């Protein structure tokens, strides 16, 4: 659990559940054991992403004072063990996807590919933070497909023009996925501030290592406003509770970023506020769905 940073699952899990809840609210279906397999797939995806990141970045980690005590650097875990763990996590993801529906199974290659690419991007471009956003943005999408695919099959993604059900994902889960992507990008850009000097010396192309402090702050605020806008235009916001919660958490994130000098440990404070964001939105969505009038 230490190797895969199990506590970081708190970032993606609420949005997995949000995707699941949106799908249940959108489609009239008996979910059966879907939630069990969705959570198991999420565990597999999260563990695989972190294992690959640790394996691919082990040489970079060895030169960074913040990461030089990680398992593969110190030798407390062998590289063979790490690869075995990655394989177990990938099997967990693929098998769970197969237990959900054919669409989920046939798309299980997508997150694996995204996870493999991410660790290499920081060597070449500051867009690596946005790619990480894409990684987490797949969380609600995967949970939504797990339910939508049961009813509509591939038409849940491609659209069924004959039955006028095209783009089922457009007004519902897609804006939420975009919001998650921009939200985690803003967080990761600020989290990378602590390694800015090290990154510059070792050729790591992080956003803080490439641009000025003012640019990092300004971009972070802009991204926070964008992820709020994405949540605001999604169908779940038909109940005002989700909109209000999104606005409040956007303000909280922006406040921490603007007042970072006031915090003894800015990254820890930002981590906690960002982690709380997903859970507050999940609770607001649940309350909104429970209190909205029946059709």
Tokens of 252: 């909280």
Q: What is the mean pLDDT of the chain?
A: 89
Domain count, the chain: 1
Is 263 a domain residue? yes
d(CA 274, CA 182): 12
d(CA 148, CA 144): 6
Q: Are 22 and 173 in contact (CB under 8 A)?
A: yes
DSSP string, 214-253: HHHHHHHHHHHHHHHHHHHTSGGGGSHHHHHHHHHHHHHH
Is 163 a domain residue? yes
The domain that contains 44 carries what CATH number? Answer: 1.10.357.140
Tokens of 291: 């209190």
Is 1 a domain residue? no
Is 23 a domain residue? yes
Is 205 a domain residue? yes
What is the structure's pLDDT at 295? Answer: 45
Is 194 a domain residue? yes
What is the structure's pLDDT at 163? Answer: 54
Is 199 a domain residue? yes
Is 211 a domain residue? yes
Does the predicted TM-score (pTM) go above 0.85? Answer: yes
Tokens of 146: 């797990």
- Structural domain including 208 reads 6-291
pLDDT at residue 276 tops 90: yes
pLDDT at residue 7 tops 50: yes
């Amino acid at each position: 659990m230490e190797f895969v940073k199990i506590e970081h699952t708190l970032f993606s899990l609420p949005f997995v559940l949000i995707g699941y809840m949106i799908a249940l609210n959108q489609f009239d279906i008996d979910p059966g054991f879907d939630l069990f397999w969705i959570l198991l797939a999420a565990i597999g995806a999260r563990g695989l992403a972190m294992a690959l990141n640790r394996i691919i970045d082990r040489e970079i980690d060895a030169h960074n004072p913040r990461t030089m005590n990680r398992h593969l650097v110190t030798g407390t875990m062998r590289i063979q063990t790490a690869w075995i763990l990655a394989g177990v996590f990938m099997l967990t993801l693929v098998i769970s996807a197969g237990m959900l529906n054919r669409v989920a199974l046939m798309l299980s290659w997508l997150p694996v590919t995204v996870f493999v690419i991410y660790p290499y991007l920081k060597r070449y471009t500051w867009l690596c933070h946005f790619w990480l956003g894409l990684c987490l943005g797949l969380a609600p999408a995967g949970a939504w497909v797990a339910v939508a695919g049961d009813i509509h099959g591939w038409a849940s993604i491609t659209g069924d023009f004959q039955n006028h059900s095209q783009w089922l994902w457009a007004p519902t889960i897609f804006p939420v996925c975009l919001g998650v992507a921009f939200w985690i990008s803003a967080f990761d850009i600020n989290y990378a501030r602590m390694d800015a000097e090290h990154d510059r010396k070792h050729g790591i192309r992080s956003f803080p290592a490439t641009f000025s402090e003012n640019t990092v702050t300004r971009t972070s605020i802009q991204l926070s406003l964008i992820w709020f806008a994405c949540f605001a235009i999604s169908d779940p916001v038909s109940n005002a509770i989700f909109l209000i919660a999104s606005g409040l958490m956007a303000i909280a994130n922006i406040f921490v970023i603007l007042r970072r000098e006031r915090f003894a440990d800015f990254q820890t404070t930002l981590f906690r506020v960002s982690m709380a964001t997903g859970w507050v939105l999940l609770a607001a969505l649940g309350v909104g769905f429970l209190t909205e009038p029946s059709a």
